[in-house]
Amino acid sequence: MKITRRNFVGGVAGMAGLSLIPTRGFAQAKAPSAPVTITVVDVAGNLALTQGMFENYAAAKPEWVSSFAFTKAPAPELPSKIKAQQAAGKVDIDLVLTGTDALSAGLDQGLWVDLSAHKASLPNLESILLPQAFKMQALAKDQGVVITYYPSGPLIEYIPERVATPPKTAAELLEWTKANPKRFMYARPANSGPGRTFLMGLPYLLGDSDPHDPVNGWSKTWEYLKALGENIEYYGTGTTQVMKELGEGTRDIVVTTTGWDINPRVLGIVPAEAKVGTLEGFHWVTDAHYAVIPKGVSEEKVGVLIDVINFILQPQQQAIAFDEGYFYPGPAAKGVTLDMAPQESQDAIAEFGRPEYEDWIANNPLEVPLEPAKLVDAFRIWDEQIGASKG
């Protein structure tokens, strides 16, 4: 069965009342004078995981929120839009759901509310987040909160009938692309989770001098990406495009992550028989989605948003993040298991999940992504030296 978000939101709505019970590690925020409308912009595909949580909040606490208005935007475009609104004194975006890309750009430009002054009202993040998710929390510099997490990648995905002998090393992948020009693809890292995971994972695969320094420590990575680019027709503008081309047969091998492997097969975008693999020397580069509040949002709304964050980090709501495997596993909080998820999510992962993932997660190093300023440097260098070669 093809599963959509609407299939299971109703299944968890009955749990909304449970989430109002005070839970250890969670705090109480100040109620607004009247219900508010919250505008949420998603630049990470996060609503696939969390929209049900927000809707449950609106249903459970109508005296706090009258409604949520959801929109989506490309991650590279949002920071300049918010900066322009702040300069005009008219910020109409209340909450941003982002990966490390727009998070980092916003930190670099000073766009986000510093939440350190609100710690008394925020959850005790160290006590409730998974250990690796809490490491991801450090990247937010107190200007955002991790709401979903996964080990990510980088993985390669391929169609077995078209790739009889998949590459096992980075060198073999390069040789394969030379022998099969235009049949390999990945998306621009600044707008793609798998793209940036591949970018940050290569220094480990290639044995670069400093995987945490893209400016001075990635000589092998930049050389490799330039050589790889000679055999790539163009870079996808986003991951969805890459997966569609794999499914349509335009590409035979693409870069992926756990969630971007599972979810497109659930949705029928990629054939169910597609396979995944790791490359020798593989390290996971973990990923997370964050809730960040732009400067200029009213204090009353900030209080509501902190209450929303408390709500969606509770285990009953976090279980929705298993979704259709899009960010597999997905939950950032401790104590959330698949059997807590809506039945449709359990069924999708049972059919399209991969048993090897548990072994790979347990037996390969888990690395935190680049610090925000370094990630901005990595995106800039890729755009100038790699992406620009394809226009």
pLDDT given at position 27: 58
Distance CA 230, CA 223 (A): 11
CB 298 within 8 A of CB 39: no
pLDDT given at position 30: 78
What CATH fold (topology level) applies to the domain 155-281+362-389? Answer: D-Maltodextrin-Binding Protein; domain 2 (3.40.190)
CB 225 within 8 A of CB 386: yes
Chain segment 316-357, per-residue pLDDT in tens: 999 999 999 999 999 999 999 999 999 999 999 999 999 999
CB 110 within 8 A of CB 306: no
pLDDT given at position 25: 54
Helices (H), 253-388: 258-266, 299-312, 315-318, 343-352, 356-363, 372-381
Q: Which pTM value belongs to this model?
A: 0.86
Chain segment 193-203, per-residue pLDDT in tens: 999 999 999 99
3-state SS assignment for residue 244:
helix
> What does the domain layout of the chain look like in residue ranges?
36-151+287-348, 155-281+362-389
- Cβ-in-10-Å burial (0-12, 13-18, 19+) of 391 comes to exposed
Identify the CA nearest to 40 among candidates 263, 290, 324, 237: 290
Residue pointed to by tokens 């959509």: 4
pLDDT given at position 20: 39
- Does this chain's domain 36-151+287-348 share its CATH topology with 155-281+362-389? yes
Identify the segments of the chain with pLDDT beneath 70: 1-28
Instruction: Provide the token pair at 181.
Output: 């020009």
* Percentage of the chain modeled with pLDDT above 90: 91
Instruction: Provide the token pair at 108.
Output: 């670099």
Mean pLDDT of the chain: 92
Distance CA 109, CA 81 (A): 12
The CATH superfamily assigned to 36-151+287-348 is: Periplasmic binding protein-like II (3.40.190.10)
Distance CA 53, CA 125 (A): 18
Distance CA 114, CA 195 (A): 29
Distance CA 328, CA 357 (A): 10
pLDDT given at position 12: 35
pLDDT given at position 11: 35
